[in-house]
Amino acid sequence: MTSTENSISTAKSSVNLDLKSRNTFGFDASAELAYEITAAEQIPHVMDEITEKKIPWRVLGSGSNVIFPKFLPGATLLMNILGIEIVQTNQEDSIIAAGAGVNWHEFVSWTLERNFFGLENLALIPGTVGAAPIQNIGAYGVEIGDYIQLIEAYDAKEHIFVKISKQDCHFAYRNSYFKQHPYRFIVTKVVFKIPKQWQARIQYADLAKQFLNNSSPTAKDIFSAICAIRTHKLPDPKVIGNAGSFFQNPIVAREQYETLILKHPGLVSYPDADNKRKLAAGWLIDQCGLKGQRMGNVGVYENQALVLVNHGGGTAEDILGLARCIQDAVHSKFGVKLEIEPNIF
């Protein structure tokens, strides 16, 4: 391994860097060339080097939503820009900026500790602040796009830093402008707008059950309840490799939903925009009898069918093979296509 000294303007670089600890599946993987990005101003020089070498590149946060091969050719930018700042606050809302490398759950905790309420439904989602808007992460009726004011990023196509408004982010279910234009923008900072007026959102069944005897939960009550639910349902990546929810909840037309509910009265679903319905992917998989099933070194988690796990020694090929079997089973039984959520490198 070789490296160069790190400074505010020069990113530390490493050759053949072991990435096993930087992907939550715990797959054995290494990066041909890695750059540790700790400040936005390091990015132009790094991208100039990448362009000159004519090599592929990608950005990596905490590796919580990725599927790695054993070797990542080209350059991997390790996003480690930290820092949280209260930009301004008034009677209506608060503006808070966070570096792209900040741990997402730690950021949510930080906001609640300072009585900025709204992000509590997104507690314990793995990953970083910078990666969150790309996927437009969401849980229990809340999406990160609901609270974003703007995003600061480096435009790798135009070679300039840009500020992208919430409207121009084109947020949709597990989608955004950044996801639609991969390898163009490198997110460096996310600016949040959190309204002072707050309303509890506990409509999802698992969450509502926690408050049968409490009709007025606080944001911190909801935060604690969601942490408890997710801890029970989702395995700790430090104990068993996983990337959290592996499939997106499919959205179907009203007509298809009505056909399905006649055949499957227990179908779990939620209202969605444009009179569509969002189906619970975990329920669909469970109904196929796949919860807890194992295929070699990988399998479906016993407590949550939406989570695929690496029992040890698994590979990207193993997990994707299992995913295809699940997709085939669900499509055969329900006529519904499941989309993989993690990014496949």
Q: What is the pLDDT of residues 246-283, one digit of tens each?
A: 999 999 999 999 999 999 999 999 898 888 999 999 99
Q: Residues of the chain with pLDDT > 90: what percent?
A: 92
In the prediction, which pLDDT does 7 show? 46
Q: How many CB atoms lie within 10 A of CB 155?
A: 14
- Taking 90 as the threshold, does the pLDDT of residue 9 lie above it? no
Tell me whether residue 85 is one of the annotated catalytic residues.
Answer: no
- CATH for 235-344 is 3.90.78.10
In the prediction, which pLDDT does 8 show? 57
1, 196, 253, 256, 257 from 275: Cα distances, Å:
55, 30, 7, 12, 11
Mean pLDDT for 89-106 is 97
Long-range pairs for 275-280 at CB < 8 Å and ≥24 separation?
276/251, 276/252, 277/251, 277/252, 278/173, 278/249, 278/250, 278/251, 279/249, 279/250, 279/251, 279/252, 279/336, 280/249
116, 139, 330 from 110: Cα distances, Å:
9, 18, 39
Q: Supply φ then ψ for residue 146, to 5 degrees.
A: -65, -25
Tell me whether residue 339 is one of the annotated catalytic residues.
Answer: no
Mean pLDDT for 1-19 is 71
This prediction's pTM: 0.89
Mean pLDDT for 300-318 is 96
Q: Which CATH class is domain 84-195?
A: alpha beta
Core vs surface per residue 319-336: b (16+ CB within 10 A) or e: bbebbeebbebbeeebeb
DSSP structure class, residue 298: E
Considering the chain, what is the average pLDDT of its residues? 95
In 3D space, the residue among 255, 252, 288 whose CA is nearest the CA of residue 270 turns out to be 252
The number of angstroms, rounded, from the C-alpha of 239 to the middle of its chain's C-alpha atoms is: 20
Tell me whether residue 174 is one of the annotated catalytic residues.
Answer: yes
Of these residues, 22, 245, 269, 277, which one is catalytic?
245
DSSP structure class, residue 175: B
- What does the domain layout of the chain look like in residue ranges? 12-79, 84-195, 235-344
Higher pLDDT, 110 or 215: 110
- Taking 70 as the threshold, does the pLDDT of residue 308 lie above it? yes
In the prediction, which pLDDT does 10 show? 87
Name, in order, each residue with C-beta under 8 angstroms of 287's C-beta and a sequence gap of 6 or more. 264, 333, 334
What is d(CA 68, CA 80) in angstroms, rounded to the nearest whole number? 19
- Taking 60 as the threshold, does the pLDDT of residue 4 lie above it? no
Q: Which CATH class is domain 12-79?
A: alpha beta
- Taking 90 as the threshold, does the pLDDT of residue 334 lie above it? yes
- Token pair belonging to 243: 């990337």
Q: What is the pLDDT of residues 121-130, one digit of tens each?
A: 999 999 999 9
Of these residues, 22, 174, 230, 277, which one is catalytic?
174
In the prediction, which pLDDT does 215 show? 86
In the prediction, which pLDDT does 153 show? 98
